[in-house]
A and B are shown apart, each in its own frame.
Chain A
Amino acid sequence: MRLWKGIHHMAALGADTLLDKLPFATAVITPGRRVLFLNRAMEALTGFSRDEALGLRCDCVLRCSVCLDDCPLAAAGNQDKPLSLEGDVINRDRRRLPVRLSLSAVPDDTGAPAFYLETLEERPGGIRPALEGGPMSFSRIIGRSPAMERLFETLPAVAQTDSSLLITGETGTGKDVLAEAIHQASPRSKGPFIKVNCGALPESLLESELFGHRKGAFTGAVKDKPGRIQLAEGGTLFLTEVGDLPLPLQVKLLSFLDDRVVYPLGGTSGVVTNVRLIAATHHDLEAAVAAGRFRQDLMFRLNVIRLHLPPLRDRGVDVRLLLDHFLNVCSAQLGKNVLGLDERALATLMGHPYPGNVRELRNIVEYACTMCRGEQITASDLPAYLKPQAPAPDEARAAEPEQPQHGAPQADYAELERGRMLKALLEAGGRKGKAAQALGLSRTTFWRKLKSHGFAGEKKP
């Protein structure tokens, strides 16, 4: 009977459309621990389609370590606050992905859970290097440059406060990683860490997403829905790309920061919340204020504590440290035995300005590891745009934080990789195993890359 209520409830909400618009992996679970629905992001993360997963036990589909250790559904049903746990999932590609699991019960008219909403947020994982007497680290952020050491010294104190925090830095410097690391080191670490990308959703949807809505607020709002601010109760709300927040929402966010009361869309009464706000942007907010694109009073509210992540070109010795670190990580992830870089490759990478910062460096190393057939990465394994014969990147462009220039090179080497994979497939007569072997990749990695380039069909390796 309750299962039927849950299905009816879902259908009435038009939940499939709504959930598909969410940028994070979400599953709807019945009180009987069966999967009722997966949104597109969850399908992508787990590898299961919603039709395949329908009716199956949720632990068999999500395959999250915390579900199998001690099912969190019972705990979520007994409390009003959403539950947040960390673990990992193993998806259908046999990949182990570190995730943060958030779980909340959605009650029916009687107050009993009609169903549960479970979200999985992928946490960038990696092998932490042995740092004996070497570089300093905070969570998964490593560095030994003076700029990073100064930052590391302030982080423990920043984590212990409840003040609003603004993280600035160019694209790819690790703002999201830093925000999550601060949450993990804070007294709120047992609460949820809710991330909202202010640049990823249209204004109308973003308002409902952040502040929630009351029943009847707009067409299709058939029930009250809490916003992401309420979902972050007791934890941390992370607004990434806050510089892209539309002006009308800036006013509403300012009002929330003043009195910590959330007014859902279409509602007259507010909800008092206990949330720490961390915001991040790659924009120069002062310039945005001067240009009238960002409210000065909001900037002051967010700017109680400010942390700046330096670009990689200002981190000197960290480039070599990060090269070695990501080489270890990627080599292990790809199941290869890449031990280092030859002199020419190292010189090229040490001389590159990295407009895409740490993200670009990591992508370059992953690409080189993929292409490397021996134990050492050579210059020919590097992406085409880095090779000595290629024209040097325009350093003037690299100096502009607001205009990241790593899109074109990324496209270049994605194209090159695609070409190499296609050539290997043709040479192997379409046999994926043989093509993977020729490229020095495991079959699963080869399959994953095939899918990412749009070659793969439905059949699994």
Chain B
Amino acid sequence: MKPKFLIAIRDNDVAARLDQCLEVLIVQLDDKGRPLSRKNLVLAKPSDKEICRIAQAEGVGAVICGAVDEEISLYLTWKSVQVIDDVIGPVEGVLRLHAQGRLTRSTIIPDETAKRMVQNVSNETF
């Protein structure tokens, strides 16, 4: 059984900033990368320190989020929690990548709107 991991979320995406996130998703995978359990926790107010506390209380091995303050990142690392930050994308896509062991810091998973914009702009001469 793999260690649990925590994703800071906003709607269906990874939250842009850990310190302003109001909801986290805690997932545990089996050895084949399939979800064994997943639960959502809603915070009373945004707080990265509260998320650190939750991560430790839940025995989380990795925290996945968007922006994180260096101080918080160092704290989590000191507590042996891996920080995979600077991640942008939909929660399910991020989950899939992490289950495959392919999620790294600064991973960006563009959605359809972003792909369409890239296509439109590449057809335009700047």
Residues of A within 8 A of B (CB): 3-4, 7-8, 10-11, 14-16, 30, 32, 34, 36, 52, 54-57, 59-60, 63, 65, 67-69, 89-96, 335, 442, 444, 460
Beyond A11-B125, A96-B69, is A55–B20 a contact (Cβ under 8 Å)? no
Contact between chains at B74 and A54 (CB < 8 Å): no
A10/B126 contact (C-beta < 8 A), A55-B114, A55-B115, A90-B69 known: yes
Residue on B with the closest CB to A443? B74
Q: Is the CB of A7 within 8 A of B17?
A: no
Looking across the interface, which residue of chain A has its beta carbon closest to that of B105? A460
A3 contacts B71, C-beta separation under 8 Å: no
Q: Which residues of B contact A36 (CB under 8 A)?
A: 117, 121
Q: Which of B20, B69, B73, B74 has the most A CB atoms < 10 Å from its CB?
A: B20
Residue contact A59 to B121, C-beta cutoff 8 Å: no
A63 CA / B69 CA spacing, docked (Å):
12
Most buried by B among A7, A63, A93, A94: A94
The 6 listed contacts between A and B (C-beta, < 8 Å) are A11-B125, A55-B115, A55-B117, A69-B20, A92-B67, A92-B106
Contact A444 B17, CB 8 Å, known A11-B126, A34-B113, A52-B108: no
Given contacts A32-B113, A56-B88, A92-B67, 6 further A-B contacts (CB under 8 A): A4-B120, A11-B125, A55-B114, A65-B20, A90-B17, A90-B67
Listed in ascending order, the chain B residues whose CB lies under 8 Å from chain A are 13, 16-17, 19-20, 66-71, 73-74, 85-86, 88, 105-106, 108, 110, 113-118, 120-121, 124-126
Partner of B121, one of A15, A54, A96, A335: A54
Q: Per a CB cutoff under 8 Å, which of A54, A67, A89 touches B118?
A: A54
Closest Cβ–Cβ distance, residue A43 to chain B (whole Å): 15
Contact B67 A63 (CB under 8 A): yes
Complex: how many Å from CA A91 to CA B108?
A: 15
The interface residues of chain A lying within 8 Å CB-to-CB of B19 are 90
A7 in contact with B124 (CB, 8 Å): yes
Asked whether, in the complex, the Cβ of B85 is within 8 Å of the Cβ of A56, the reply is no
Chain B contact residues, majority secondary structure:
mixed
> A10 vs B19: C-alpha distance in the bound complex, in angstroms?
34
Is B68's CB under 8 angstroms from A94's CB?
Answer: yes
- CB-CB under 8 A for A16 and B108, given A34-B114, A55-B116, A442-B74: no
With both chains docked as a complex, state the minimum distance between the C-beta of B124 and any C-beta of chain A, in angstroms. Answer: 5
Question: Contacts of A94 on B, CB cut-off 8 Å?
Answer: 67-70, 73, 85
**What separation, in Å, do the CA atoms of A57 and B115 have in the docked complex?**
12
Taken together as a complex, chains A and B put the C-alpha atoms of A105 and B105 apart, in Å, by 34
What A residues does B73 contact at CB under 8 A? Answer: 94, 444
Contacts of B70 in A (CB 8 A): 93-96, 335, 442, 444
Interface contact B20-A68, CB-CB below 8 Å: yes
Given the interface pairs A10-B126, A90-B67, A92-B86, the reply to whether A63 lies near B110 with Cβ below 8 Å is no
Which residue on chain A has the smallest CB distance to residue B46? A68
Note all chain A residues with C-beta closer than 8 A to B68.
Answer: 90, 94
User: A11 CB to closest chain B CB, in angstroms?
Assistant: 5
Find the residue from A7, A10, A67 having the highest chain B CB count within 10 A.
A7
A63 touches B114 (CB 8 A): no
| A residues less than 8 Å from B16 (CB atoms) | 57, 59-60, 63, 67-68
The 10 closest A-B pairs by CB, nearest first: A55-B114, A55-B117, A90-B67, A94-B70, A68-B20, A63-B67, A60-B16, A60-B88, A59-B16, A11-B124
B108 and A56 contacting across the interface, CB-CB below 8 Å:
yes
Q: How far is the CA of A424 from the CA of B120 in the complex (A)?
A: 47
- Pick the contact of A3 from B20, B69, B115, B120 — CB < 8 Å? B120
A275 nearest CB across to chain B (Å): 33
Q: Are B71 and A335 in touch, CB under 8 angstroms?
A: yes
